Structure 1
Amino acid sequence: MKRFVHNGTTEDVQNLHDIASRMDELPSPPPVATQVLSMALGQDLGAKEIARTIEADQALAVKVLQAANSPIYGYPGRVATLEQAVVVLGLPTLQQILLSIVVRESLLETADLTDPVLAGIWRHSLACAVAAELLAKRARSDLAPLAFTAGLVHDCGKTLLFSIRPSEYEAVMDFAHGRPDSITDIEVRHLGMDHCRAGAELLSRWGMPPALIDAASMHHLPAEAMDSVGKNADLLRLVRLADLLSRRMTGGPDLESSARDEAMLLAEDLGLDDNEINAARTEMENRYAQSAAMFDLDEDSGAIYLRLLQRAKSRLSDTGLKLQQATVALDHQAALQLACMHAGLTMARAKTVQEVFAAALEALRSDVGMNARHCGVFRLDDSASILDGRFVEDGKTHLVACRTDERRLPCASAAEAGVPPLFLDIFSTYPARIPPDGKAPEALSPAYHEHFYIMPLVCEGEHFGELILEPSANENRLPGGAVPDAAALGQLASLTAFAVRRLDVARHRDERAYRLARALRTIKEMQLQAIQNQRLAAVGQLAAGAAHEINNPLAIVYARTQLLEQNESDPRRKKNIGQMKEQIERITKILKNLMEFARPDPPSFQPMDANAVIDKVVELIRGGLDKTNIELRLDLAPDLPSIQGDPRQIEQVLLNLLLNAIHAMENTGGVLRIVSTSDTKRGEIMLSVVDQGPGIAPEHRDKLFDPFFTTKEEGKGSGLGLSTSYGIVQSHGGAITVRSEPGEGATFNVHLPLRRPAAGQARRPVPAPLEDGNAVLVVDDEEHIREILKESLEAAGYAVHTAANGREGLKKLRKRRYRLLLLDIRMPEKSGLSLLSEIGDELGDTPVIMLTGLAGPEEVREAKALGASRCIQKPFQIDSLLQAVKETLERVEKRG
C-alpha cells in the first residue's frame, strides 16, 4: 500500500496549483468528437446533421463506421455511410463511443490502462453508467441516454487525479477503501482538491454540457439536498443511486446503514420500488458485459485477480503492523477514557460549580494530566459578572472568586482574587486568549504559555474559561504531545464545560421558574380581580337603572305622603301615614346606598394618617362594645407612614369591616384586633381587622363582595357594605384580601399604596350679572313631580311656572326672568345640564337648584360648575326642599 504524509496548508496550496497546471498541459480532446457528443446529448438534431458533423474528422468517422459494422449490431460489412452508422448505433451507443474517444485521447493518452486502480475506476464508472441508464428507463425514460453518459463521467475527476499524481492518488484510494463516502475529505486533505471539483473543471474545459458537469461535481450531494440543484435534480438522483448500487458489482464494500438509508430515500424520490430496483440489478451484469468491450475493459479476469490478491497480501501485512501499534495506543487511550469517564460521572452528580472543578482537577492529577502537581480551572459567568475557579499547587487547594466588568476583566488583582503565586502570570494573560464577546476559537486545540498547557472551556460556541496544567518536572515534553493525550484533555475540558453549563442552566431555570410562578400568581389575582370588577360593574349598572326607575315614582309617593300627613287631623290616620313615611325613607336610604355603590364619589386625595383614621372610627364604635363581650385591641405601627387618601371614605371602609366583625362575634365574644403595618418594599400600608367569630364558609368566599350578599338576618343588613368598601379601596389603587377558616375567625386586610396623585380642584362657578325676577320655574319631565312642587311652593306663597322638559324650559327662560329655577338634571328632551350650558350668562343672578334621582358625582360637579347653587336628591322631604328654596333666595337677596 502506498503511503503519503500530509504536511499542512502550504503543501495543499502547492498541490492545488500543481494539479491545475497539469490540467492545462493535458491534450485537448478531438473538437469534432466533443461537438458531436454535445449534439447527441441535446437530441435536437437528426442522423443526417450528426453524420455531416462527424465527416469533418476522418479518424472519428472511421471509428464510428467500424463500430456500426461490428457483429453485435447484426449488420457486419453492410453499413457504408455515416448516416447509416448513426441510425444503426443509436444516440446512446454513439455517446459511449464518442466519450471513449474523448477520454482516451485527452486524459489517458499516456496512462497505463492495465493498472488495477485505473481499471477499477473505469469499471465502477461503466457499472454506474449502466445502472443509471437501467434505473432511468424505469423512472425517467427521457433521461436514459443522458443518465448513461452522466454515470460514465461522474468519476472522471478520479481518473484525472490518478493520471496527474498516480502514486499519491493510489495511496488515497487505499486509505479510503471500505469507506468510499469519505474519499472527498481525504482527497482535499492530501491533494488539496477532491475528484468532484477536478471532474467539473475538466468537463468545463472540454466544453461538456452543464448536466454532465453537474453530475461530476455534485454526485456526492446528500439526497435531502438534491432539490436545490434545479432541473438536473432527477439526473443527479439517478447517478447517485447508481453509484451506490454498482459498488458491490465492481468489488467495492457492502453499503453501510447510512448509505442504505440514502439509497432508499433516492429510490423513493424517483418513484422506484424494491421490485424495480432488483430487476435493474439483475440486468446490470449483462448490460455491463456488452459495454465493457467498447472501453477495453475485457482483459483476463485471472490476471486481475492475481494482482488484486498480491495487493491484498501487502495490505494485510501493513494492517497487522498497524494493529499492533494501535493496540498499545488503545490501551493507553482506554486508561485515559476511564479517567475521563469517572470524572464525567462525578461531574454529573455535582451540585455546585466548585464540585465540578474539583472533579476536573482530580482527573488532571491522574493519567489525563500525567499526574500533574500544579493545575487549575476557572470560568467567567457573564450573567452574574463573576469569575470563579479552583487551583491546586503542591497538593494545596486554592479557591478563586472576584467580580468582573463589562469587558470580562477581573475587578480585583489576581492575588486578591486568591490565585496562587505560581499561576499569577498565566492567569493575568487570559484576556488575550478569551475574547470579550466570548466567541469560541476556530479550533479547540490546546495552547501553550511558557511551561503551562491550556485547554479552553467551550460550550455552544461560547469560550468562557480554561483548564490550566503544568507538567511534572520529570517530563521532558508537554502532555498532549501524543494525540490520545490531547484528545483526552479536550474531552475533559468538554465534560467540564458542559457540567458547568448544566448547573448554570439549572440555576437560571429555577430562577425563571420562581419568577414565572410569581407572575402566574399575579396574573391569576388580576384575572380574579377583573372578573370581580366586571361582576360588580354589571350589578352597578343594574342597580343604577333600578334606582332611577324606582326613584321618580317614589319621590311622588313620598311627597304625597308628606302632604297627606300635613293635612290629616285624625291622630290614628296620621300615625299610619307616619309609618308609611318611615318605610318610604327606608327605601330612600337603600336607593341611596345603591347609588353610592353604582356611582361612588371619587376619593378626595389628601395626606392621611391612617392611625388617626382608625382612632376616629374606634371612638364611634367603642360605646356600643360596652354592652358586648368583645374586647377591642389596637396594634398600630408607631412609624406608619402618611399616605394619599380620602379619610372620610377610609373611615367608611373600616366602619363597615368593624361592624361586620362585631356582628360575627356578638354571640361568642372574644378579642377584636385592629392592626396597622407598612411594607416599604411593596410600597403600601396594610390595615387589618381580625375577629374571632365563626369564620367564613368556603361556599361564601367568592360572594363576599357581591352586592346584596349577606349572611345577616333579614332586616339587619342590605348586603352593600363590603361591595361599597371594595369599590372605595379599589378607587384608592388598593385591594382587600380575606383569610378565614371555619371556626377560626376572619381577617380582612386593606392594602393601600403609599403614593397616590392628589385629585384636581373643581371649577368654581362664575358669578352671573344680577337680574330681578318674580316667579319660580320648575322644569321636570315627571308630571306628578311638577304638580307636587307647584302645589307645595304655591302653598308657601311662591308664584310657580312649570316646564315639561329642557327645551320648553329654555323657551320660558328667554321670555322672562325668574326668581328661582328648580331643574331636573336628567330629562329626555334636553337635559338640565344642557339647558344650563346653553343659557349661559342669559340666566343672570337667577339661582338654580338641581333635582336628581340618578345623577352621579361627575354630573353634580358639572352642574355646580355651570352655576347651580345646590343639588337635592330625589325623593325629597317637602319641608327640606322649601327650606332650601328659602335659604337660596335669602342668600341672593343679601348679595343684592
Structure 2
Amino acid sequence: MAKQADKSAVARQVELIIRRLGSLSTLPEVAVMYLGQLAGNGADAAALNEIIESDPALTARILALAHDKAVAFTDEAPSVSEAALKLPAAMIRDAVLSVKVFQAFDADFDPDSRRTLPRRELAMHALAVACCAQQIGEIALPARERRMAFSAGLLHDIGKIAIDQIMPKSFSRIVEQAKAQLSPIHAVEKKHLGLDHTIIGKRLAEKWSLPVEIAYAIWLHHTDAEIISENMPTAKMALVVQLADIIARQNHIGLSGSFDTPESTEAICRALSLPSEQVEMIRSGLEEAVGRRSQLLGLQQPGGQAAYCGLISETAARLAKEHTDLSISHTQKMVASAQMEFVGDFLPAVKGNEAAIDVACELVARWQKHYQTGPACVYVVEDPNEAFVEMATVDKTGRTDTVLVNVPSGTPAIGDVLQKEFVIVNAADHVGWVFEQTDFEMDLSVAKVLPLPACGKTSAVLIFEPRTPFDPARRPELFAAVASVAGSVIELTLTNLRHSRLAERFAELLGRLKTTRNELTEAKSLAGIAEMAAGAAHELNNPLSVISGRAQLLQNTETDADKKQMLKQIQLRTREISQVVVDLMSFARPAEPSAAEVGLRALIDQAVADTTKAHGLAAMEVEIAGIDESCEVYVDRGQIARAIANILSNSLDAYKAGSGPVRIDAACAQSEGAVTFRIIDFGCGMDGETIAKACRPFFSAKPAGRKRGMGLAHSLRLLQLNKGALSITSEVDKSTTVTVTLPKK
C-alpha cells in the first residue's frame, strides 16, 4: 500500500512539473537553421515554415499558438503550413524565438552523442515516423485527417522529449534499463515514474490544445490495434502512427529508446485495410524522404552547438531593438488590464483543457493583483481519499509556484467550517498544517482563509494575507460571488480530469480484457486436454496392455524371423502410445506442488545434469553467472528442476549440433519476493509468430518426425503451479532469452 502511494506521489509530482513546461526544447542544429532565416533581410518564408513543420518543438508551439488565436483552418484540419500563412509574421517569429534550445551552450564538445539515446537520433526517429505516417495517411485516412498525419507522426514521442527535458538523469537511467532488458521504454517509464511518455504526451497535447486526432495518436500509439479498431474507431490516426513507428524502427532510422523487437505490422495493416505491397513501397522510399527533411533541419551537419553559439549573439543584437519595443508594448497592456474587474480578468485566462492546479495558479495571481493582498495560495482536493493535496502559491513578489502538501493523518483536508457555508476565518485556526510542511512564507497572525464552493460542495480553499485596513472577514458577502465563480471553474476542471482518467483506465482495462480472454481460452484448452487425456488413458490402457502382452507371447513362440521383428515393432509402438497418454496426463493434471525452500543454484545444477543425460551428452556447454549460492526459492524441487530442464533442452535444440553454448545468469531486474534469472542460447532464434505459440501444447516449429511439442508448455504449466512465471524474447538467427521468475518464501 505504501509503495503504491509513493508511486502515485511520484506520478503526481511529475505531472506538476510537466504542467509548468511552457514548450519543448529544439536541437542547436535546428536553431541554427531557423535563426539563419530570421536574421537575414530576405527571409524565405516557405523555407522557415518547412523547418517549423519538421521539428516537434516548433510544430507543437505553432499549433498551440494557432489554437490560442482561434485560427480557422480549412475543413477544421489544423496544419502548421496553414497556421503560418494566417498568423502574423511577427507572432510566428516571437513564438519560434521563445522555444528553448537543448544543451545550447556546450560548444566545446558534444555530450548528446555520448548518451544512450541522443536527442539527434530521437529527432531522426520522429522525422521517419512523420514521413511514413504521411504516406500511410494518403492511403488509409479520410481526406480531412490526411493533412494532420505528418504532424501526428512527428509529435508522437513528445512525452519522451518532455521527460528528457525536465529530468534528464532519470530519463537516461530509464533508457539504459530499457536497453539492458531489451524492453519497450514505456514499460520502464511506467515502473519508475508511475506513468509513461504516452500519458505525459497526452497531458501536453491537452495543455497546448493540439488537435484531438494528434492527441489520440500520441496517447494510443502503443495500444493494441484490435482494441483501437473495435472500441475507438475515431482514433484511426493512432493506428497510422503506430504502423509508421514500427516501420521506422524496422528500417533502423534514428532511435526511439525502445530496444524490444518491433511488432509485426500484419494486424495494423489489416485494421487499416492496407495491402502489404503498398507498405513495402512506403518502406522502400522512407530513407530518402527522411534524408531530405533531416538535411533541411541541419541534423546531418556536425558542430551544431558551436554554430548556434556563434549565431545567437548576432541574432540577439539584431532583435534587441524589436524586443525592447515589444516589452514596452507589453507593459502598457499590463497597465491597462489592471482596471478590469476580477472575474473579467480571471475567466479569459482559464483554458478549457487546463488542470485544476493550473486554474488555481491563474486564480491566486489575479486575486493578489486585484485585491492588493500579500502572499496567497489555493490548495485543491482532487480526491478526498488521497493523503496529499496540490497547492498553487503566489509570493509577495508575484511569483507563482505549485507544490504537493501531505494532509496529516486524522485531519480533513477541508474542515466542516469551510464546507458548511461561505465564511472568511482566521487561517491559523483551520489550515495551519499547510505551512508546517512548506517554505512558503505567510503571516498566519493576519492571514485569512475562505472556501471556493461549487454545486453544494467545496474542493478548493483560498488563503491570503490582507494588506488593507479593511477586514474581509466582516463582509464575506462581498467575496462570495467571485469565490463561487472560481470554485465552479475549479470543480469543472476536476470533473473533466476525472472523465479523462476514467477514459485512460477504460483503455487500460480493454487491454487487460484481451489478455484475460486469451488466458481463459488457454485454460479451456487445457481443460479439454485433461478430459481427452483421462478418457484416452481409460479407453486405451487396457487394450494397449492386451496388445502388448499378446505380441510378447507370440514373439516368444514365433520362429519366423520377419514375423518376430514385426511383433517386436508392435510391442514398441504400443509402449510409445502409452507414453503419449502418460505425457498428456502429466501436463493436464500434474501433482500438487510440495513447496519447500531450496537453493536456486542446486536447482539449476540438477536441471543441467538431467538435460545432459537426456541428450546423451558427455558434457553440456553451459555458463552460469551471477547466481548466488545462498539464494533460495520456495518451490517444488522436482517440478521446477524438470521445468528448467525442459527449457535447457529447448535451448540445445536451437543448435544444429545440439550441445550449446547456453548461458544462465541473473543480469536482469529483480522484484521483491521473487528471484528472476535468464536462460540464453545463441542458436536459430524465433520470429514473433513462433514466440506467440511457443508455450502452446503440441506446437513445434520443427518438421515431421519432431518431438511432441510439450517441453515449453510443460515448463510454463509447472512454473505457474509454483507461482512462477516465464517470458520469451528472441531474434531470428541471433539468440533466444527465456526469463524465469520464482517465488521466495
Considering the TM-score relative to the shorter chain, is it more than 0.5? no
Query: Which gives a bigger RCO, structure 1 or 2 (Cα 8 Å, sep 6+)?
Result: 2
> Normalising by structure 2, what TM-score?
0.44
> Normalising by structure 1, what TM-score?
0.37
